[in-house]
Amino acid sequence: MGQTIVLTGMVLSAVPVGEYDKRIVLLTRERGKISAFARGARRPGSQVMAASNPFAFGQFEAYEGRNSYTVVKADISNYFRELVQDLEGAYYGFYFMELADYYSRENADEAPMLKLLYQSLRALESKRFENRLVRRIFELKTMVINGEYPNVFSCLKCKKEEHLKYFHVKSGGTLCQECGRTEHALELDESTLYTLQYIITAKIEKLYTFTVSVEVLDRLEQIMNHYMEFYIDRKFHALQVLEENQGFAYLVEHSFKKNSSCNKPLKRL
């Protein structure tokens, strides 16, 4: 066994290995995304049992092998227990970790990604923000960190910075009122444009300090759905489950409203 190192990070995913072990993926500040074994993590009374679960954030003591790391001790500062107990919030969180896993690389500087993930999970736990808004902020800022964000500060054709009224997904940014008329582009109001600009330029610590109207959130969702579908070639499992559950909940809610509109009392069994 070599010399151990201390890594600050979060468990993105974990799968059982053998009878008692786990293989975990860690997003760390010092080494980027790494794969590690948690020996005996499934054994009752193990010191790394809770630390090897997704969402666990803290310091991990590990030694480096030829192809992977082995975690021998952990000091967890946040398990995000409140988030895990909320079904919808948990699925949003799992989606965030899948997206972080998709973009992160080993031995890369992933400190901004780790900070964004941590702050976004905290925002999901808070009752001050809609989960839908937290999702769109996280998605766009993730793309900013990885250099794939759209240009929303000038017209892609004429370079003017005024009257940006359209968003062109394929070109990756905004068009002014004149240039966008002949293009197949999404209409863009001033409030949604400002929201996009703020998310792109704001420091991570300042991201979750605002709310938007329902209309702006709807438009933001429309833009991000089209943009991510065009630029990301992967389906995320947690997101699919989340959207299926939300669709089912919508159908149940509206079916209940329709069936209860006659104001007849329910029959007691």
pLDDT in tens, 99-124: 999 999 998 999 999 999 999 999 99
Q: Which CATH class is domain 4-79?
A: mainly beta
pLDDT in tens, 14-36: 999 989 999 999 999 999 999 99
For residue 83, the SS3 value is helix
Pairing of the two strands 69-78 and 32-38: parallel
Question: Which residues sit opposite 58 in a β-bridge?
Answer: 9, 76
Q: Could you tell me where in the chain the CATH 2.40.50.140 domains are found?
A: 4-79
pLDDT at res. 45: 85
| CA–CA dist 146, 246 (Å, integer) | 29
pLDDT in tens, 43-102: 988 889 999 999 999 999 999 887 789 999 999 999 999 999 999 999 999 999 999 999
pLDDT in tens, 195-243: 999 999 999 999 999 999 999 999 999 999 999 999 998 889 999 998 8
pLDDT band at 262 (very low <50, low <70, confident <90, very high): very low
In contact, 116 and 140? CB cutoff 8 Å: no
When the candidates are 3.20.20.150, 1.10.580.10, 1.20.1440.120, 3.30.420.40, the CATH number that belongs to 84-240 is: 1.20.1440.120
In contact, 219 and 189? CB cutoff 8 Å: yes
As a residue count, the chain comes to 269
